[in-house]
Every structure is written in structure tokens, then in C-alpha cells.
Amino acid sequence: MHSARLLLLAFTMLPYLNAEPAVLASTDGTPAPAFRWDLTLLYPDEAAFQSAKAKLTADLPRLKRFEGHLGESPASLLAAMELLTDLSAQLTRLSSYASQASDENTRNAPALERSQELDMLGTEYSRVASFVNPELLAVGESKLRGYLDAEAGLAVYRFPILDVLRNAPHTLGAEAESVLSSTGMITDTASSLYGILANADLPWPTIKLSDGTEARLDQAGYTRWRAVNNRADRQAVFTAFWGKIREYERTFGVALFSQVKTDWFNASVRKYGSSLAAALAESDVPEAVYRTLLAETNANLPTLHRYFKLRGRMLGISDLRYWDIYPPMVKSDKVFTYDQAKQLTIDAVHPLGEDYVADITKSFAGRYTDVYPQPGKRSGAYMSGSVHDAHPYVLLNYNNDYESVSTTAHEWGHGQHSVLANRTLPAPLSQYSIFTAEIASTCNEALLLEHMLKVAKDDDERLFYLGSALEQLRGTFFRQAMFAEFELRIHEEVEKGGALSGEELTRLYTDILKRYHGDADGVLKIDHLVTIEWAYIPHFYRNFYVYQYATSIAASQAFAERIIACEPGAVDTYLGLLKAGGSDHPYELVKKAGVDLATPEPYRALVKRMNRIMDEVESILAKRQK
């Protein structure tokens, strides 16, 4: 079977970057232990980690004993599958620990080296296991189905084994698969280069704001200060931050061009017609999903432009610029402590039932979250739930604002997805696709919004939350679809033999950025300084990843509306989707739950919801003018 199925080490990350808050801290200024995750729950100490790594290294050669013997009997096939599962579990735990420990401080060289060593060990696993897919195909469908019917223990492997048969036209011979697996040692170079440059080595600028504040504009600082109320300060933040990134346009261009070439190499050697086809085929997502998303997004750009005009009206700005997107349309200085964020999330998910509430309460009570920013800590937020027999972890960069509350609900939506899938299913079936993962997270955000609107004390507070909801829909649907369109464009350029310099990437991104923001129609002016934004997006180093944010929020809005409306069976259907993990192809799982993402309807329903929210905002504004 494809090693990707057995080595699903993907950490679900989101582009929410937060800055340093005032927090409860220990005497040396670092966050107290209650605000740090406890990785000793994975390995009690370094010695245990090294021992486990040595064990996996020693265990890997055992797999080769099955080479040439998978088709001997049902018992032989079962033994091989069980060993694969065991080796994958060992590697997943080791890799999760090493990666998370490195993310605590990306400047920590020994931690980075440990993570790199696990990348190498993962490549070796893939090389050793590379014979499995070709040999299963050689055994043949008829014989394999007979084995699956004859041996009850193979039931948990039925779906992944049959998935190997589905991918037969794109599976190479044993020797070629072995060589291709070995390229893993070099194919992540572009992503590694981006990560170190963006998170550790780039010399971020510091500027003085109008109130005298010294603002260091690393990625977390940019996210914090781009939303300040003073417009001149926002422009200064954008000028300094994007100006610094533009100094490295060539370097970022080389990195992203290398990634796109890698994607096309992997697709072409497996005889796919495009990088997109290869990326979608892994989870059997119809290409109509991607194409329909882009078509519907472009058809509904007038709704996005309506939002920008409403934003300009509420901010009192007639000449909108890119630095006017991020400040809230209604000013709020309200501080949300992390304890409040946890309680608000718990209150918001009550419609999902007592068991879900109990699970998320337990997650918050344990040391599974790394809460606050620290120097060198990885920016953004993600959930790591790949270790089947361990509790999921979440990395945050909490900033005591409502966006941080929303991010907390979002990431622990992922976390509870893993809790439910890991509890319900055995390891070979529990690891779910990003295609369904983002449904769990954005549904939590929708439920959070509904709760906040209920507890809002006045129209000002309602406007703040409604504005936040509009920004979520812009950022997660329209913005991610824009990224998806850019990603498709640059892959198509390479596939036809074109080159992508940093300057060319900026040119391509500029065209799309201006169209989405209505530059030609005077909706929002795109200045040259922000057209380097493509260099800031880490998700471009994860092959055709971003579109799933947009498809998922379309699906999650449908599920959330049914849950909020108390439709019979809505909660059970939704939780059933989460519990289904990776037991079927993700598009089919979502379709069976009542949402077909290959059709226009889910996207049009989302756009209607966005328009309804704007109607409500305008109604409040009209009431005030009377």
C-alpha cells in the first residue's frame, strides 16, 4: 500500500499567526508549565526517545523478510500488514515527538537535527516498504479479495489494500518504487529551506509606531500589528514587513520553484497528466471539486467586493488598501484570557452533545496545548493527532484577542476529530484526510460565532462578532481559493516547461490578487509592495493543500446550520463523519453525510450566508441612522 497512507504524519496547520501577550509566566519570564504541552507523555526522556529510535532502526529489516511472500497465504499477508502497522506507529510517534520538540524553538540546533534524523529514518522506512505496493498488484485483485474474505484479521486492511489496486496505473515496479522512495531524502529540501528562512534566519525589522511602541515585525509581530487602529501605523507595518520579504524575493522564488518542480517530478514519473491530478488522486477527490470551487469563487467575487465596500464604509475609508483588511470593522479592546477561550469553546460546542463536551473539557484539562509565543517558537497554529494511542496536541500562539479564541476552538476541533477517529477505528483506518479535517475545525468556529452572538450584550458587540465571521469567510473561503488558483497556475506553468523566478511568481500572483480584490473596479487598491505575499505562504510547500480550507468551510457551514437548527439526525450524521476517520475516501464520506463538494450548491450556500450576515450588519447600521 502507499507509504503515505501508513506514514500520515501531516500536522494540520493554519495561517493564524499571533503575537506575544502578557501572560502568567514563571520567574524567568517563560510561560508556566500549565501553558506548555508535555511531550514526556510521548517519551519520558531523551534516553527513551533514543531507545525507541534504535528499536525502529533494528526492526525495519524485518519487513524485507516478507518480500516475495505477500501472496503465499492470507496468514502471510496479515503478518506483513501487522508489521507495517507496527513500524508505522513507531515512526509516527518518533516523528511527532521530534517535530514538536523542534517547533518549541526552531533555533535549537540539536532539536532540529533530531527532527532531520527522523526525516531520514522515514525515508528509509519508505524505501524498505517500497516493495509492498508492486507486490500486492502482482498478487492480483482476485487472489487478494479471496484472502480478504478468508482471513477475518485482514478486515481492517481491506480499504487500504483495495486502494492500492485503484492506484495500479500509477504504481511502478519494485525497483523503481524503491528508488522513488529514496528521493524523500531530497524532495523536502524546498520546504525545509522555506521554514528555516521564514522562521529562524530572516532578519525581521523593528519599527516605532505612532504611540512610541517598538514593534518587531517577525511573522507573529506582523499579524499582531497589521490590525492596529492607526492607519498610518498599518501602512508602516506593511511597508517594513513586505519590504523585508521582498529583499529575499529571489531566494523564496528558488525555494517555491524547486517545490513545484518536485511536485511535477513526482506526478510525471507516476504517469499522471498533471500535478493537480496526482495530488487529488491520493485521496480519490474528483477534479470537479477543484474546478467547481474556482469557478464558483470567481462567479461570486461581487460578494467579496461587497464585503470590502462594507468594510470601507464601517472604517470610514474611501480608498481601501491591503493594510485595511485586518483591523476589525468594529473596534474592540476586549481581552480574552486563555481560560476564557477554553470555557467559551466548551460552551459553544454544547450542541454537539455531552460526550463531545466531556472530551474537549478533558483535552483542555491536560497538558496537550503549547499556548503562548516564545522566541524561536514556530509561528501559527496546528494540531498533531497522528499518534493513534496518544492524545492529540495543539500548538497555539495565543494573543488574548478574539481571533485567538477562534483559533483555539478551531484547532481543538481538529483535536476532537482525532480523539473520535482514533477511539472508534484501528490505526490503519483512523488517519483522515485534510479534506475532512478542516470541516471539524471550521464547524467549531461556526458554533463559536453562534454562541458569541447569543451572549453579546449590545449591537456593538454583535457587529464585532459578525465582522469576525465575515473575515473568517473571506480568509478561509475566498482567500484560500485565491491561493488555490495561484497554486494551479504556477504548476501549469512548470508543466508546460516554463520557469518561475521570484519576479515571475510575483507577476503571476499580482494578476490574481488584483482580480480578487477588485483593483480595476476601484474596490481595493493593490499596491506593488504587497504583491510579494506569495513568498509568505507556507502552504504552497504542501502540494495542493490550500483548496481544502475552502471546500471544508463550505461543507462545515452546511453541517453547522443543520446542527444549529436542531435538524433531526444532524449531530449524529456530523459526528459519524468525524468518527469515520480515513475508512473511506474523504469526498465520499462527506457526500454520504449530505454535502456534495463537486457541485456548486455548497459554495453558493456559503456565499448566501455571507450575504445574510452583511444584510444583518447593514440592518444594524440602518437602525442607528434613524
Residues 6+ apart with CB under 8 A from 249: 502, 503, 506, 532, 535
Mean pLDDT value of segment 120-125: 92
> Pick the residue with more confidence: 188 or 20?
188
- Of these ranges, 126-140, 324-338, 505-519, the one predicted with the greatest mean pLDDT is 505-519
Residue 62, pLDDT score: 96
Contact 475, 223 (CB under 8 A): no
When mean pLDDT is compared across 134-148, 168-182, 586-600, the lowest value belongs to 168-182
Count of domains for the chain? 1
Residue 468 lies in a domain: no
pLDDT, mean of residues 62-70: 96
pLDDT of residue 22: 32
User: Of these residues, 177, 296, 403, 411, which one is catalytic?
Assistant: 411
Report yes or no on 580 lying in a domain. no
> Is residue 182 one of the residues assigned to a domain?
yes
* pLDDT bracket for residue 29 (50, 70, 90): low
Confirm whether 425 is domain-assigned.
no
**pLDDT, tens digit, for every residue of 487-532?**
999 999 999 999 999 999 999 999 999 999 999 999 999 999 999 9
Question: Does residue 245 lie within any of the structural domains?
Answer: no
Q: Residue 13: its pLDDT value, please?
A: 34
pTM of the model: 0.86
CATH of the domain at 105: 1.20.140.70
pLDDT of residue 33: 87
List, as one string, the DSSP characters of 294-332.
Answer: HHHHHHTHHHHHHHHHHHHHHHT-SS-BGGGSSS-SS--
* pLDDT computed for residue 476 by the predictor: 93
Q: Assess contact for 66 and 59: CB atoms under 8 A.
A: no
Per-residue pLDDT tens digits for 374-402: 888 888 899 999 999 999 999 999 989 89
- Dist CA 92 CA 7 (whole Å): 7
* CA atoms lying within 13 Å on the CB side of residue 133: 30
What is the percent of the chain with per-residue pLDDT over 90, rounded to a whole number? 81
Please state, rounded to an integer, the average pLDDT across all residues of the chain: 91
pLDDT band at 419 (very low <50, low <70, confident <90, very high): very high
Strand, coil or helix: what is 395?
strand
| pLDDT confidence tier of residue 37, bands split at 50, 70 and 90 | very high
Q: Which domain holds residue 135?
A: 37-187
How far is the C-alpha of 251 from the C-alpha of 253, rounded, in Å? 5
Q: How confident is the model at residue 1 (pLDDT cuts 50, 70, 90)?
A: very low
Pairing of strands 369-370, 393-395: parallel
Tell me how far CA of residue 281 lies from CA of 2, 135, 285, 429, in angstroms. Answer: 12, 21, 6, 18
Mean pLDDT of the 323-334 span = 90
Q: What percent of the chain has pLDDT over 70?
A: 95
pLDDT band at 2 (very low <50, low <70, confident <90, very high): very low
Q: Give pLDDT, residue 31.
A: 78
343 by Cβ neighbours in 10 Å (0-12 / 13-18 / 19+) ranks as: middle
**Which element (helix H / strand E) includes 13?**
strand 12-14
Q: Look at residue 572 and tell me if it is in a domain.
A: no
Start-end of H helices in 105-230:
109-129, 132-139, 141-150, 158-166, 174-182, 184-187, 189-196, 219-225
Residue 167 confidence class, pLDDT cut points 50, 70, 90: confident
- Pair 419, 391: CB distance under 8 Å: yes
Secondary structure (DSSP) of 407-471:
HHHHHHHHHHHHHHHHHHS-HHHH---HHHHHHHHHHHHHHHHHHHHHH--SHHHHHHHHHHHHH
Q: Is residue 491 included in any domain, yes or no?
A: no
Annotated active-site residue 411? The verdict is yes
Burial (CB count <10 Å: 0-12, 13-18, 19+), residue 14: buried
Which residue shows C-alpha cell 506483513?
80
Stretch 46-70: mean pLDDT, rounded?
96
Residue 277 in domain? no
The pLDDT of residue 347 is 98
pLDDT tens track for 450-473: 999 999 999 999 999 999 999 999
**d(C-alpha 597, C-alpha 436), whole Å:** 11
- State the pLDDT at residue 25: 37
